[in-house]
Amino acid sequence: MDGSLPPTPSLAEVNAALERLCRRHDRWLRDRLRKRYGAVLADDLAQDTYLRAAPYEVAGQIRHPKAFLMEIADNLARDWFRNRRREAGPEESAREIESAAEAAQQEAETNLRRIVLALPDKLRDVFILTHIEGLSYADVAKLRKIPVTTVHHRMREALALTRKALRETQASS
């Protein structure tokens, strides 16, 4: 894409492009925007993003649609925060940004908590004792009366399952 605007498409072409973009990417885009900017702003950003992307879709100029949509959405969000900062003053806009970041962090923590709780009991136990409680592998081995190699094996398996679940969560987002 060279940065120039595409030719002005007809209304029918724009509607068809909006339909295609929404059908292919709406769930993914809205989930990403909710995580990044919070639920309040996500829907408005998604709608504005599709409207900005539709002419490029009509012209066939979108090579990497997810990256393109996120770039548009991020730019729109920056504009929105900049305008809010001008209107509200620096203290209030800083609180809003912190609140949006906090909501995204809470969602990520809830996701990880759900994944860890879904681990098999023996794996979850080792994971929690080492990563949450901060015990060493040797301490876990003594506490659970198992060899250190078993702790290593269980942790490796717990981490593999956790990574897989996180990837699946991100792919569906």
Q: Does the residue 110 lie in any domain?
A: no
Q: Does residue 112 form part of some domain? A: no
| Long-range Cβ contacts of 56-65 (<8 Å, 24+ apart) | 56/1, 56/6, 57/17, 57/20, 57/21, 58/6, 58/9, 58/13, 58/14, 58/16, 58/17, 59/6, 59/7, 59/9, 61/1, 61/6, 62/1, 63/1, 65/21, 65/24, 65/25
**Would residue 59 count as lying in a domain?**
yes
Tokens representing 45 are 């950003």
Assigned domain for 141 exists: yes
Please check whether residues 66 and 90 belong to one and the same domain. yes
pLDDT tens, residue by residue, 148-161: 999 999 999 999 99
Confidence label for 59 from pLDDT (cuts 50, 70 and 90): confident
In terms of pLDDT, which residue wins out, 99 or 17? Answer: 17
Range of the domain at 9: 1-104
Higher pLDDT, 10 or 51: 51
Interval 111-125: pLDDT, tens: 888 888 999 999 999
Q: Is 111 a member of any domain?
A: no
End-to-end CA distance of the chain: 26
Tell me if 25 is assigned to some domain: yes
The pLDDT-based confidence of 173 (bands split at 50, 70, 90) is: low
Residues 96 and 12 in one domain: yes
Helix pair 11-37, 39-58: axis angle to 10 deg: 150
Residue finishing a domain among 50, 73, 104: 104
pLDDT tens digits, residue range 26-47? 888 988 888 888 877 888 889 9
Could you tell me if 14 and 96 lie in one domain?
yes
Average pLDDT, the chain: 83
Residue 6 falls within a domain, yes or no? yes
- How many structural domains does the chain have? 2
Q: Judge if 95 and 144 occupy the same domain.
A: no
Query: Is pLDDT above 60 for 93?
Result: no
- Identify whether residues 144 and 91 lie together within a single domain: no
Identify the CATH number of the domain in which residue 129 sits. 1.10.10.10
User: 167 and 98, same structural domain?
Assistant: no
User: Do 8 and 62 reside in the same domain of the chain?
Assistant: yes
